[in-house]
Structure 1
Amino acid sequence: MGWLFLFIAGLSEVVGVTGMNLIVKNKNAMAVIVFITGFLTSFLLLSQAMLTLPMGTAYAVWTGIGTVGGALVGMFFYGESKDWRRIMFIAMVLTAAIGLKMIA
């Protein structure tokens, strides 16, 4: 269950970051709700995952999911750069997270 909690926590972090971006752009109540709900869910599930997974691994994978997810949301929904070098480094972060899962 720890890995499932961690995966959902990472996705929730992406929701929180998206909410943060919405606050900057729209400044409305719905954006604040998305921000708070995303990060609250993310931190709660991360803490649950850390009951069964090593702290360093859990934090690194959670951060990796959030980083990759935030970058992909930016690229696909907010018109951020899709330069091949950016995609290569995103793939490296994803590879590192998968590697941590394989050895933990």
Structure 2
Amino acid sequence: MSWISLVLAGLCEVMGVIGINQVNRNRSVTSFLLLIGGFGLSFALLSYAMQEIAMGTAYAVWTGVGTVGSALVGMLYYGDSKDAKRLFCIALIVISVIGLKLIE
């Protein structure tokens, strides 16, 4: 259950980052709720996951999921670059997160 919570925490971090982007584009109550709710839930789920997963591993996976998720959302919805070098680096992050799960 801790690993599921950790992945969900990373996905909620992506929601928070989307909220930041929305606040920068259009300051509305909805965008602020997305920002605050996404990061708040992300921290709560991360805290729960860290009860059973080592701090360094949990933090690395959480930031990895958030980074990859935010990069993919940026590429799919906000016109960010889809350069092959960038995709390669994102793949390295995914491989690293999987590796951390396998050795935990």
- TM-score category (smaller protein): over 0.9
Per the normalisation by structure 2, the TM-score is 0.99
Q: Which residue of 2 aligns with 1:66?
A: 66
Deviations 1:8-46 (A, max 9, x none): 000000000000000001111110000000000000000
| Alpha-carbon distance in 2 for matches of 1:90, 1:27 | 30
- Percent sequence identity is 53
* Structure 2 partner of 1:35: 35
Give the Cα–Cα distance (whole angstroms) in 1 for the partners of residues 80 and 4 of structure 2. Answer: 29
* Count of residue pairs brought into register by the alignment: 104
The one-letter amino acid of 2:9's match is A
| Runs of 5+ consecutive residues of structure 2 not aligned to the other structure | none
5+ residue gaps, structure 1, are none
- Alignment TM-score, normalising by the size of structure 1: 0.99
Q: How far does residue 53 in structure 1 lie from its aligned partner after superposition? A: 0.3
Q: For 2:3, what is the secondary structure of its paired residue?
A: helix
